[in-house]
Amino acid sequence: MGLMLEKIAAVNDIRRVLDEATGLVGFVHNNAAVLKMFRDFTGSERENLIKPSKMRSAIPFLILESILSYKDELKEMFTSLEWKSCFWSKKVEGQEAAGLVKSSSFWKRAGMASKATTALIRVVDKIGVDNKPSIGFIYETMDQIKEAIQYEFRDSKSGHIPLWKLIDEIWDGFLHSPLHAAAYYLNPTFFYNRNFHLDTEVSSGLQCSVIRMENDQRIQYLINKQAAQYCRADGDFENGYAEDEINNAHPDLWWSVYGNRCPELQKLAIRILSQTCDGSGRCSLDRSVAEKLVCKEQNQHEQHRLRDQMFVRYNLQLVGANRKKRNAGGDIDSGGRLQVNDLRRLFAPERRQAADFLPSCRLQQKHFTVHSSLRKSCSVTLPIPSFGK
């Protein structure tokens, strides 16, 4: 998902407004008198325009949201007598910052860029929080992100299309795995919702996951049989069918409570739904193979070879990696100044981080590309949920 944000940030109009926002925030935070004035106008002695995030590519967009939230205060500050009598109001960088804040076109472009990424930013911030499993929500969330972007650009018939293409490029090419579709099916939050949609991608995803994770055809048969009970909400599933039960328990915990009469399906569901999907965010990974993978100069055969090599290497690294979380806010001290990184360097485009969307280390999976021949060999037939209860 970090690469999605990176690609969106590379769009010319968005790149421009992010650069402008970077300059404004850098000016405010790197000059003590201006920072104090900003805090006086916001009424907070510790307020910052810089917002930390565990994902580097999200920081510029979070700062843009912060600037938008203080639009009135910034306008008031840069037109005040305090500003006009300030030393920095006579300097070129101060005049540029004031001119930017007074520019209606800047605020219009800032609002548009924020609309394009708000939904995606919210997802990024939720994934991996407190090391909680999140794979059960990603498949549906990606659709919700695209719907949210389309809604934000509702005044423009095709304004959302370029962003959709960027998101689909990363989702289809790198992020999407049959595990995401299987987790969507096995997540009772979505499965027992009337809006649940079982299409070919979802059914193929679960079929592929079952076959790859359970080689025993007898167990595959039992999973298929037990899936029918899950579908009808029979037995213990009926007790967990209530909306309160579904919403108050995480999907893997829900299965541990209500799936005891379907042990094979329960084991599969817990194994899939316990994935956090933020392995690279907690572990230091060598990204060299992933960076080669996103290079478009590679031919298809080389892409497949590198993809297989990437999964082997990263799974080995994830098994032995240090799981301590990185300090997302380490660049900012208590006074609001940048300690280590210069602000412009902090937001400078970095090398692609394809490992941001690698699977968690709990499941050492093979590459889950669903080939047509594999679909034909799948023996699991998925029941369609009934909402008669």
Dump pLDDT digits (tens) for 255-283.
999 999 999 999 999 999 988 766 555 55
The model's pLDDT over 310-346, given as tens digits with 9 standing for 90+, comes to 777 766 766 665 454 444 444 433 333 333 233 334 3
Task: Report whether pLDDT(229) > 50.
Answer: yes
Residues 6 or more apart whose Cβ sits within 8 Å of residue 220: 210, 211, 214, 379, 380
Task: Report whether pLDDT(211) > 90.
Answer: yes
Structure tokens at 57: 């590519």
pLDDT of res. 36? 92
Question: 272: burial class by Cβ within 10 Å (0-12, 13-18, 19+)?
Answer: buried
Indicate the pLDDT class of residue 290, thresholds 50, 70 and 90: low
pLDDT of res. 128? 53
Q: Are 109 and 24 in contact (CB under 8 A)?
A: no
The DSSP code for 356 is: G
**In this predicted model, which residue has the larger pLDDT, 277 or 357?**
277
Task: Report whether pLDDT(371) > 90.
Answer: no
Task: Report whether pLDDT(173) > 60.
Answer: yes
**In this predicted model, which residue has the larger pLDDT, 20 or 305?**
20
Q: Which helix (H) or strand (E) holds 59?
A: helix 59-69
Q: Report which residue type is found at 355.
A: A
Q: Are 61 and 68 in contact (CB under 8 A)?
A: no
Residues 6 or more apart whose Cβ sits within 8 Å of residue 61: 5, 9, 18, 113, 114, 117, 121
Structure tokens at 20: 């402008």
3-state SS class at 191: helix
pLDDT of res. 177? 86
- Break the chain into its structural domains and give their ranges: 1-126, 128-273+376-389, 278-324+349-358
pLDDT of res. 379? 38
Structure tokens at 74: 């910034």
- Average pLDDT over every residue of 350-361: 33
How many other CB atoms sit within 10 Å of the CB of residue 220?
A: 20
How many other CB atoms sit within 10 Å of the CB of residue 331?
A: 17
Q: Which helix (H) or strand (E) holds 168?
A: helix 161-170
Closest of 44, 49, 43, 34 to residue 82, by C-alpha: 34
Alpha carbons 372 and 376: distance in angstroms, whole number: 6
The model's pLDDT over 111-155, given as tens digits with 9 standing for 90+, comes to 988 888 888 888 776 665 555 677 888 888 888 888 888 888 887
Q: Which residue has the tokens 């843009």?
A: 64
**Share above pLDDT 90 across residues of the chain, in percent, rounded to a whole number:** 36
3-state SS class at 338: strand
pTM summary value = 0.66
Q: Treating both helix axes as pointing N-terminal to C-terminal, what angle do 71-78 and 59-69 enclose, rounded to 10 degrees?
A: 70
